[in-house]
Structure 1
Amino acid sequence: MTAINIERKENLDYKSNEAYKSLRTNIQLCGSDIKVIMITSTAPNEGKSMVSFNLAVSLSETGKKVIFIDADLRKSVMVGQYMINMSVMGLTHFLSGICKFEEVVYSTNYENLDTVFAGPVEPNPAELLSDISFKHLISTLRETYDYIIIDTPPLGNVIDGAIVAQECDGAVFVIAAKFVSHKFVKNAVAQLKKTDCKILGAVLNKVDMSENGNYGKYYGKKYGK
């Protein structure tokens, strides 16, 4: 397995670190049968890729063996966002039959964390993710890793996330504060409910901390039970 150095552009402050620890704990409390978790959003630019990778790092820090898979085959930001300075093979290479899986999985500078990048943009990402190869891959990885974190495209835009959801045990929605409408979120949640994937909860992202006192009320009203 090739090793790769991943540098996070964002510097997590104390509150951010505590938020990821809280998210990690909530994931762990969902039970040992929740191993394959997709992170999605309703629209682009809500921060799902950052949340999914930081969650994977946080889980690996507990000693769990974790693999992060970038399944956003249409508009991946991972290579640019995390300053990867080498040419990498990715999920599209594997699903297209160009590479073996061991050629697209990388060990990282974070202990216990491996990663698979998306690879080049393909004209048929939904078809690739629907292929039996993806199903077999997730099934195989379940035997090796404690957690499989999958970053998927926004559910409000394309069907890819719903396809990936069929292989997952749970899903987490990333919702950027004051960014998308309540109706848009409800439509995306309804789409996910058509799969067998359990909705574990939501992460309210990009919160203006100067207005933090108002968000408990806002979150409960808009996205709570």
Structure 2
Amino acid sequence: MGKIAFRRKDKLDFKANEAFKTLRTNILFSGKDIKVITLTSSTPNEGKTSVSFQLACSFAAADKKVLFIDADIRKSVIAGRYKVDGVSFGLTHYMTGQRSMADVITQTDIKNMDIVLSGPVSPNPTELLGGALFQALIESQRENYDYIIIDAPPLGSVIDAAIIAKFVDGAILVVESGVISYKMLQRVKAQMEKAECRILGVVLNKIDMHNDSYYGNYYGKYYGKYYGNYGE
């Protein structure tokens, strides 16, 4: 197993850290049978990759052994966003039979967290993700990790996330605040239900904490007396 390093890592403020701890706790109390989780969104740029990655990091920080799978093989941003060093092979190498499972599961410089990067863009991503090799990867690693977090493509754009959903224990929808319509979200929800995937919940992302009267006042008043007036 190789090892990679992330030269860039997001620095989360107190509010963001608390949000991911809450999300992690909610998943922990969803049941011990919830081990493989996919995250998707309706459209690109809603932040589902960042949420997926930070959720994996949050589990790792809680001493859970985590495997993060970058299954957005059409347009992955992980390697570029986090400035990954030491990349050799990825998910598409494995699913096309060019490399073994051991070749693509890579240690990271984040304690307790391994990763499968996406690899090169494939001309037939839906067929690969729906194939036996992808399913075998997930099923074989269930015993090796406490949680497997899968970053899937936006379901409002391509069907890949619904294909992936057939192999997981639950899904989380990432929704950009004030951007995605109710009808669009209902269509995405219906697609997941057709795949008979349990929807664990929704992450409302990119909330303006300064201008949103509910969230800003709640966090500012409730936590401010304990942690000071941050964000000024």
Partner of 1:223: none
For residues 110 and 9 of structure 2, what CA distance do their matches in structure 1 show?
15
Cα distance, 1:7–1:26 mapped onto 2, change above 3 Å = farther
Contact 2:67 2:148 in 1 (8 A): yes
Are 2:189 and 1:207 aligned?
no
For residues 92 and 28 of structure 1, what CA distance do their matches in structure 2 show?
30
For residues 125 and 144 of structure 1, what CA distance do their matches in structure 2 show?
26
Q: Output the TM-score relative to the length of structure 2.
A: 0.90
Q: Which runs of 4+ in 1 moved over 4 A?
A: none
Partner of 1:160: 160
Q: Runs of 5+ in structure 1 lacking a partner?
A: 217-225
For residues 212 and 82 of structure 2, what CA distance do their matches in structure 1 show?
28
Aligned partner of residue 150 in structure 1, secondary structure: strand
Contact 2:4 2:87 in 1 (8 A): no
For residues 178 and 121 of structure 1, what CA distance do their matches in structure 2 show?
31
One-letter amino acid of the counterpart of residue 51, structure 1: V
Contact 1:88 1:117 in 2 (8 A): no
For residues 56 and 8 of structure 1, what CA distance do their matches in structure 2 show?
16
Q: Output the TM-score relative to the length of structure 1.
A: 0.93
Partner of 2:82: 82
One-letter amino acid of the counterpart of residue 80, structure 1: G
Partner of 1:219: none
**CA-to-aligned-CA distance 1:108-161 (integer Å, 9 cap, x gap):** 111110000000100000000111111111110111111000000001011100
Partner of 2:19: 19
Q: Runs of 5+ in structure 2 lacking a partner?
A: 217-232
For residues 49 and 8 of structure 2, what CA distance do their matches in structure 1 show?
12
Contact 2:6 2:85 in 1 (8 A): no
Aligned partner of residue 5 in structure 1, secondary structure: strand
Aligned partner of residue 211 in structure 2, secondary structure: helix
For residues 73 and 84 of structure 2, what CA distance do their matches in structure 1 show?
17
Deviation of the 1:86 alpha carbon? 3.3
**CA-to-aligned-CA distance 1:41-83 (integer Å, 9 cap, x gap):** 0000000000001000100111111100000010100000110
Deviation of the 1:197 alpha carbon? 1.3
Residues 1-225 of structure 1 mapped to structure 2, 5 A cutoff: 1-214=1-214
One-letter amino acid of the counterpart of residue 94, structure 1: Y
Deviation of the 1:11 alpha carbon? 1.6
Alignment length, in residue pairs?
Answer: 216
Contact 2:39 2:48 in 1 (8 A): yes
Aligned partner of residue 172 in structure 2, secondary structure: strand
For residues 126 and 148 of structure 1, what CA distance do their matches in structure 2 show?
20
Cα distance, 1:187–1:37 mapped onto 2, change above 3 Å = same
Aligned partner of residue 212 in structure 2, secondary structure: helix
Aligned partner of residue 164 in structure 1, secondary structure: helix
Contact 1:67 1:147 in 2 (8 A): yes
Report the RMSD for the aligned CA atoms in angstroms. Answer: 1.3
For residues 214 and 112 of structure 1, what CA distance do their matches in structure 2 show?
36
Cα distance, 1:212–1:205 mapped onto 2, change above 3 Å = same
Deviation of the 1:10 alpha carbon? 2.6
